[in-house]
């Protein structure tokens, strides 16, 4: 199949790819166009809106600007990845902390223009940030991590000067401005389309973005594809090399791989580890990826369901897992092992780091006996069909291994569309596969989301007053404070012992691309940032 046939034939099971009908003729020739295939596509153009899914995060990255952004670094194997230690200007051309480090004042770049040509002003920044902290849900909690919770903290000094006040100094405030959430909206357009019942224009912005970013949305066909078009007037960074990007939803991983191997797709995001390893060996396409910072694949045990409220049961399971087989079958070498730690307490604050468990069925049986469950028990293990490429082989191996110590496991397959509600919102799964990666690369930030009771990614319903206090006192502490390392080591030590989440491995984020595509970088949000990509 020739490359142009991707735009003409029914390789995806549809009579015709719909975008062919609507794009200019040069799109079909692929000149200046990047064709991207993904497994799941967006459900909104507004990240602040309730119910917006993870794939939609990438839209916010590409069509909206933020005050600041993270830099990019080259990894040891030559791949590109974001740099959590480097903050660069975007809409803000400069910033300055107050002497007491309780406020940051930003000078806005006069080159920042919305798509309608109007300047990005401090009033737009304030309205956008007010919106982020006021609509509730995940965006508000993410802003809270940076000590931003109230509209009163966002102050307009003049049209081009904006200030953020925080209650106490925090190492998280500035990097929290570089994540997808605090994007800047054209407030004049939004207000014109707001109403008494919808003062933040969520219904309008759901389908009608109002940004200043490097790309605009040219078309969105829900469930099929969306199309980016370059904003020729964008001047807040190097000129993007791609004029048009077609992001096509292809549910089948095997079809995504086939399209990439044939050259019909330029870029395949989120490629499974098995395909990544095999395609790298063939050498026809390029593979780029890096371990995802602050991210772990884990087996989560829900303490609201017996017997997982018993620490010895959790430890028994931790000693019964077939870690080596899991990393081999699910990660295919594209994962950093998080088992086999040599000591019961951490020597440093490296995170993530291997936990002090490895496969030891005799020890697992002894711990079950100590817990009064020598004969084992029955339970379910839930996994996400949307992530079946790693979760299904992992679940099968866990089922088999736990059976050897008397734990009879029934597998519970949950469709990807229902997973977030069941596991994270309702937190009703007794034993389940889970993945979480903290957007801000600090161990205490991971604990804030995954070990504090009631927080979204604490799907284990774990509650420990000491951990709560440690997180609260450490989250905004500077890493140079001597107490910081002591607090983090104590958090990790508790996680080692109580294991509500049993780490398996740290995953890679890989992408496959044609040889003429360059500039792809792995990002903490695990979505596509088109702005740095070039196509020869």
The residues spanned by each domain of the chain are 1-64+213-266+514-536, 65-73+82-192, 295-508
Q: Which CATH architecture has domain 295-508?
A: Roll (3.10)
Average pLDDT on 10-28 reads: 41
pLDDT band at 17 (very low <50, low <70, confident <90, very high): very low
Look at residue 496 in the predicted model and tell me its pLDDT: 98
- Cα–Cα dist 428/426, whole Å: 5
Q: Is the N-terminal amide bond of 307 cis, ω within 30° of 0? A: yes
pLDDT, tens digit, 9 for 90 and up, residues 453-464: 999 899 999 999
- Cα–Cα dist 299/318, whole Å: 9
Main-chain dihedrals φ then ψ at residue 144, nearest 5 degrees: -60, -35
Phi-psi region of 267 (alpha: psi -120 to 50; beta: other; left: phi over 0): beta
Look at residue 333 in the predicted model and tell me its pLDDT: 84
- Cα–Cα dist 192/49, whole Å: 18
Please give the CATH number for the structural domain made up of 65-73+82-192: 3.90.76.10
pLDDT, tens digit, 9 for 90 and up, residues 153-182: 999 999 999 999 999 999 999 999 999 999
Percentage of residues in the chain having pLDDT higher than 90: 85
Q: Is the N-terminal amide bond of 271 cis, ω within 30° of 0? A: no
Task: Please give, one letter per residue, the 3-state secondary structure of 285-315.
Answer: CEEEEEECCCEEEEEEECCCCCCCCCHHHHH
Average pLDDT on 190-205 reads: 97
- On whether the CB atoms of residues 521 and 82 are closer than 8 A, the answer is yes
Look at residue 13 in the predicted model and tell me its pLDDT: 38
- Is 60 exceeded by the pLDDT of residue 24? no
Look at residue 7 in the predicted model and tell me its pLDDT: 41
- Is 60 exceeded by the pLDDT of residue 8? no
Look at residue 22 in the predicted model and tell me its pLDDT: 42
Per the prediction, the chain carries an average pLDDT of 92
Count of alpha carbons within 13 angstroms of residue 87, beta-carbon side: 19
- Is 70 exceeded by the pLDDT of residue 267? yes
Average pLDDT on 470-486 reads: 95
pLDDT, tens digit, 9 for 90 and up, residues 311-329: 999 999 999 999 999 999 9
Helices (H), 333-377: 361-370
Look at residue 367 in the predicted model and tell me its pLDDT: 98
b/e sequence 382-397, b meaning 16+ C-beta within 10 Å: bbbebbbbbbbbbbbb
- Is 80 exceeded by the pLDDT of residue 18? no
Q: Which CATH number fits domain 1-64+213-266+514-536: 3.40.30.10, 3.40.190.10, 1.10.3720.10, 3.30.450.20?
A: 3.40.190.10
pLDDT band at 16 (very low <50, low <70, confident <90, very high): very low
Nearest Cα neighbor of 261 from 284, 287, 286, 288 is 284
pLDDT, tens digit, 9 for 90 and up, residues 403-433: 999 999 999 999 987 998 999 999 999 999 9
Look at residue 99 in the predicted model and tell me its pLDDT: 97
Average pLDDT on 282-286 reads: 94
The residues near 141 (Cβ < 8 Å, ≥ 6 apart) are 455, 456
**The model's pTM:** 0.88
Per 3-state DSSP, what percentage of the chain is helix, strand, and coil (rounded to 5)? 35, 25, 40
- Is 60 exceeded by the pLDDT of residue 11? no
Q: Is 461 strand, coil or helix?
A: coil
Nearest Cα neighbor of 352 from 295, 390, 435 is 295
Look at residue 29 in the predicted model and tell me its pLDDT: 56
Average pLDDT on 114-129 reads: 98
Average pLDDT on 348-367 reads: 97
Look at residue 30 in the predicted model and tell me its pLDDT: 74
Average pLDDT on 467-485 reads: 95
Compute CA distances 487 → 147, 475, 493, 494, whole Å. Answer: 20, 10, 10, 11
Average pLDDT on 231-250 reads: 95
Look at residue 32 in the predicted model and tell me its pLDDT: 87
- Is 50 exceeded by the pLDDT of residue 3? no
């Amino acid at each position: 199949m020739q490359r142009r046939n991707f735009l003409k034939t029914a390789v995806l099971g549809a009579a015709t790819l719909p975008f062919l009908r609507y794009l200019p003729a040069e799109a079909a020739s692929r000149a200046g166009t990047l064709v991207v295939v993904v497994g799941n596509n967006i459900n909104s153009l507004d990240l602040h809106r309730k119910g917006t899914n993870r794939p939609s995060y990438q839209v916010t990255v590409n069509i909206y600007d933020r005050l600041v952004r993270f830099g990019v670094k080259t990894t040891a194997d030559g791949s590109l990845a974001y740099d959590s230690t480097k903050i660069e200007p975007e809409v803000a051309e400069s910033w300055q902390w107050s002497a007491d480090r309780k406020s940051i004042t930003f000078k806005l770049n006069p080159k920042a223009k919305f798509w309608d040509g109007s300047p990005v002003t401090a009033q737009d920044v304030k309205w956008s940030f007010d919106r982020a902290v006021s609509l509730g849900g995940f965006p508000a909690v993410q802003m809270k991590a940076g000590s931003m919770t109230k509209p009163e903290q966002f102050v307009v000094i003049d049209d081009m000067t904006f200030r953020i006040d925080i209650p106490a100094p925090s190492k998280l405030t500035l990097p929290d401005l570089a994540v997808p959430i605090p994007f800047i909206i054209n407030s004049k357009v939004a207000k014109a389309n707001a109403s008494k019942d919808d003062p933040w224009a969520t219904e309008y912005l759901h389908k009608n973005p109002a940004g200043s970013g490097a790309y605009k949305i040219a078309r969105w066909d829900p469930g099929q594809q969306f199309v980016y078009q370059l904003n020729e007037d964008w001047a807040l960074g190097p000129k993007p090399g791609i004029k048009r990007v077609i992001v096509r939803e292809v549910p089948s991983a095997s079809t995504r791989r086939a399209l990439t191997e044939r050259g019909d797709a330029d870029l395949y995001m989120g490629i499974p580890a098995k395909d990544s390893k095999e395609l790298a060996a063939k050498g026809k396409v390029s593979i780029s990826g890096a371990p995802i910072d602050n991210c772990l694949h884990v087996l989560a045990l829900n303490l609201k369901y017996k017997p997982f409220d018993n620490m010895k049961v959790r430890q028994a399971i931790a000693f019964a897992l077939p870690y080596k087989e899991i990393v081999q079958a699910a990660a295919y070498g594209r994962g950093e092992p998080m088992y086999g730690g040599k000591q019961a307490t951490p020597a440093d604050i490296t995170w993530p780091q291997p936990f002090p468990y490895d496969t030891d069925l005799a020890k697992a049986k002894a711990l079950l006996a100590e817990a009064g469950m020598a004969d084992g028990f029955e339970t379910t293990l839930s996994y996400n069909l949307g992530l079946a490429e790693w979760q299904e082989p992992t679940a099968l191996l866990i089922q088999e291994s736990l059976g050897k110590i008397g734990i009879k496991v029934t597998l519970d397959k949950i469709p990807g569309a229902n997973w977030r509600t069941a596991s994270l919102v309702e937190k009703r799964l007794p034993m389940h596969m889970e993945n979480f990666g903290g957007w801000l690369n600090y161990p205490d930030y991971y604990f804030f989301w995954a070990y504090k009771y009631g927080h979204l990614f604490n799907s284990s319903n774990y509650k420990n007053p000491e951990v709560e206090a440690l997180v609260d006192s450490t989250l905004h502490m500077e890493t140079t404070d001597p107490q910081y390392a002591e607090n983090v080591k104590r958090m990790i030590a508790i996680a080692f012992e109580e294991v509500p989440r049993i780490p398996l491995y740290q995953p890679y984020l890989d992408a496959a691309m044609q040889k003429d595509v360059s500039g792809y970088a792995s990002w903490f949000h695990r979505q596509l940032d088109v702005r740095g990509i070039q196509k020869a």
